[in-house]
Amino acid sequence: MNPVQFLIELPPHPLFTKGVLPFLEHYGIVRSQVLLDYLPLITYVGLFYHCWYLLGKHVIFPWLVKVTKTNRPQWLLAQSAVHLVSVVQSFVILSLCYRSYPLHTRVTHPTAVDRVFEITETNCVVASFAIGYFVWDTIISFVHSSFPFVLHGAVSSTVFLIGMKPYINYYGAMFLWFELSNPFLNLRWFLAHFMSDDVIARHPRLSRMCSMLKFVNDVVFITVFFGARIVYGYYKIVELALDFYSVRHHPNFLPLETAFILIGNLILDLLNAIWFWTMLKIAKRTISKRYKPTKSLYKST
């Protein structure tokens, strides 16, 4: 069976049904029935990604890290496992977004009220996988990464938790199409750390192939990043803001949550623009060096 479908169909453990869920509901810690219903799946997803992390750290990468002869083997080992999880997560969430797409269009949800307040089981599953990953990412970033990564995971978790109230459930999968650029970003990271100049120098036959692979991946990464995070991202935040404006007088409208979602997305879009501009400058310098005329090996007499 598909592991994603296996997680979706896995029944709640008695620990949830007899302990955790009644406790959260009785004391009003979690008031959303939707979130309570999907909390077991969220937990399973977090454990699923942690299994991938352990597999990467203890099985896949130890011998590769040893080959690189790095001065920071434990750091490289942990970060490699984190990036492996990011790759797996990208393919999982994109497959779920693809499944969600035909069920969430302007035809199926023609009004702003539909798009902001309606809920579907398909997008609840998508949101559960997103929350499970981002909560895991927040915890693992606290251990192995810096504060900005912890903040990114925490904010992303909060946004999708708001979506389980339910609120803007329609948009849940749409904003996850940003993940299209992540496989290329992670490949770039792996190439930089496992196919660095020092490694290639010890294996000259890899030089030309690795150089071409890095170049092609960078071109594809920048192109997809621009399309998914800049063009599509800015379009969707404007579309969401207009829907919020249309339902601002609706009795179920949530002002604080709306402000958090809009401000968070605007900051993310601004950061994406800054990162894209930085990537263009780096690409320009790289291309300039690649095609810079070489100096003559002979001095004039």
Tell me the per-residue pLDDT of 252-279, one tens digit each, with 9 for 90 and over. 999 999 999 999 888 888 888 988 998 8
- Number of residues that this document lists for the chain: 301
How far is residue 20's CA from residue 22's CA, in Å, rounded to a whole number? 6
pTM > 0.85: yes or no: yes
Of residues 158 and 287, more confidently modeled: 158
Q: Give every CB contact of residue 108 below 8 A, 6+ residues apart in sequence.
A: none
* Average of per-residue pLDDT across 213-225: 92
Domain-embedded: residue 115: yes
Domain assignment present for residue 296? The answer is no
Average model confidence (pLDDT) across the chain: 90
Biggest CA-to-CA distance, the chain? 92
Q: Is residue 295 part of a domain?
A: no
Structural domain including 148 reads: 3-287
Does 59 fall in a domain? Answer: yes
In the chain, the number of structural domains is: 1
Question: Per the domain annotation, does 227 fall within a domain?
Answer: yes
Residue 97 in any domain: the answer is yes
Calculate what percentage of the chain has a pLDDT beyond 90: 73
Q: What is the DSSP letter of 203?
A: -
Q: Is residue 292 pLDDT above 90, yes or no?
A: no
Q: Which residues of 236-262 are buried (b: 16+ CB within 10 A; e: fewer)?
A: bbeebeebbeebeeeeeebeebbeebe
Residue 53 covered by a domain: yes
Distance CA 115, CA 120 (A): 11
Burial class (CB in 10 A: 0-12, 13-18, 19+), 277: exposed
The candidate with the shortest Cα–Cα distance to 34, out of 130, 136, 123, 153, is: 123
Q: What is the DSSP code (8-state) at residue 20? A: I
Judge whether 109 and 115 are in contact, CB under 8 Å: yes
Among residues 62, 58, 287, which one has the least CA distance to residue 194?
A: 62
pLDDT computed for residue 281 by the predictor:
85
The reported pLDDT for the residue numbered 246 is 98
Q: Residue 271: which of 178, 180, 189 has the closest Cα?
A: 178
Within a domain: 107: yes
